[in-house]
Amino acid sequence: MATKKAAKGARRSKSWKDIDQDVKAKSMSSTAFKRRLLARCRRVGYCVAALVAAFFAGKLLLMTEDVSAALTKAGRALPIKVVEVESDALSRDWIMSYLGVDREGLNLLEVNLKALKVQLLELPQVASVDVARRLPDTLFISVVERDPIAKILVEDVERGRVTLLVDREGVVYEGTGYDAKRIKSLPFLDGFSLKRLERGFERVEGMDLVDRLLSEAREIAPHIFQTWKVVSLGELPKLIVKSNFAREIVFEPRAVDYRKQLSELDYIIDYHKSRSYRSIAKVDLTMNSQVPVVPTSLVR
C-alpha cells in the first residue's frame, strides 16, 4: 500500500525534472502531405516539359534544315515566272532590265537578293528597297524613290544642259521616269556651288527650309506658288524667291511657319496689281509688321 501511495505522489510532483523529456515528432497531417506531394509532382512535370520541348525543338531544327536542303536541291525546278515590281517613277521594264532579271531561265532560289538590293541602292534616285522571294515562282521588288522638290540646271560637256533633281534631304540626282509636267512645275535652285564627288554630288544645305516653304506655299497659296521660278540659297538661312510678278521675295526662316508671310505677300501682290503695277522689284518679308516693298513702273 505504501508503494502505491508513493507512486501516486510521484505523479502529482510539479518539478520540471519529473517531466518526461522524450518528445515525439508530431505526425504530418493529410493536407500537408498532399501539398508536399503536389509540389514534388510539379517539379517533376517542369523537368519533363523542358525535356519534351528540347526534343521537339531539335526535331524542328532538323526538319527545317531538311526542308531548306530540299528547296535548294529543287531550285532547278523553280524558274521565275513572275516579277512583281512596286515603284513610282521607275517602270517595271526599266527595273527588270537594270537588274538583269528580264532573262528567261532564272531560278528563284539561285537569285542573289542582297546583290539586287545593293544594285538598286546605288541609284541616287532610290531611297529604300525590298527584294523577296514569293514561292513558288515570283520575285518581288519594292522600290521607294526620292521625292524631288526643286531642280538644278547644269552644263555637261557631252550632253550640254542637264536638269538635276533635289529632294528635301538635299540629295542631288538625275531623275528617271518622273512625270514631265511635274518636273516642269518645280522651281530652280541657285545661289550655291554644286560640288561633284567621285560618285554623284555633295548634298545641298538648307533644303529642309526650302521644303517647308514650298510645301506651305503649295498648300495655302497655290496661285502664288505657280509663279515661282527660282529659289536662291545665297543668303541662308533667308530664302529669296524669284517669280514673274514679284521679282525678289525675301522670306524669314525664324518664323514658326511661313503662313503669315505668305498671307502678307498675297495681299501685297493683289494691292499692287489693283494699282496697275506691272511688277514688284522686291518684297522683304523679314521685317515683321513693316514690309518694305520696291515697286517698278506702272503699266502704261
Q: Could you state, in order of their start, the residue ranges of all structural domains in the chain? A: 78-145, 148-295
148-295 maps to CATH 3.30.70: no
- Looking at per-residue pLDDT, the higher value among 78 and 231 belongs to 231
**Which residues lie below 8 Å from residue 278, measured CB to CB, with a gap of 6+?**
296, 297, 298, 299
Q: Is 80 exceeded by the pLDDT of residue 202?
A: yes
Q: How far apart are CA 108 and CA 106, in angstroms?
A: 6
Q: What is the pTM of this model?
A: 0.72
- Tell me the sheet residues that pair with 85: 141
β pairing state of 82-86 and 138-145: parallel
**Which residues lie below 8 Å from residue 85, measured CB to CB, with a gap of 6+?**
92, 95, 96, 141, 142, 143
CB 84 within 8 A of CB 132: no
Q: What is the pLDDT of residue 291?
A: 72
Q: What is the pLDDT of residue 16?
A: 44
Q: How far apart are CA 49 and CA 43, in angstroms?
A: 10
Q: Is 60 exceeded by the pLDDT of residue 177?
A: yes
Average pLDDT on 259-270 reads: 93
Q: What is the pLDDT of residue 15?
A: 54
Q: What is the pLDDT of residue 77?
A: 66
Grade residue 34 by pLDDT with cuts at 50, 70 and 90: low
Strands (E), 187-233: 188-190, 228-232
Phi, psi of 230 (to 5 degrees): -140, 140
Torsion on CA atoms 176, 180, 184, 190, rounded to nearest 10: 10
Q: What is the pLDDT of residue 164?
A: 97
Sheet of 138-145, strand order: 82-86, 138-145, 126-134
Lowest average pLDDT, out of 111-120, 171-180, 281-290, goes to 281-290
Grade residue 42 by pLDDT with cuts at 50, 70 and 90: confident
78-145 maps to CATH 3.10.20.310: yes
Q: What is the pLDDT of residue 294?
A: 84
**Which residues lie below 8 Å from residue 156, measured CB to CB, with a gap of 6+?**
162
- Looking at per-residue pLDDT, the higher value among 223 and 291 belongs to 223
Q: What is the pLDDT of residue 10?
A: 46
Tell me which residue has cell 543668303. Answer: 235
> Comparing C-alpha atoms, which of 126, 132, 127, 137 is closest to residue 114?
132
Q: How far apart are CA 265 and CA 274, in angstroms?
A: 14
Q: Is 90 exceeded by the pLDDT of residue 39?
A: no
- Tell me the sheet residues that pair with 145: 126
SS3 49: helix
Neighbours of 58 (CB within 10 A): 10
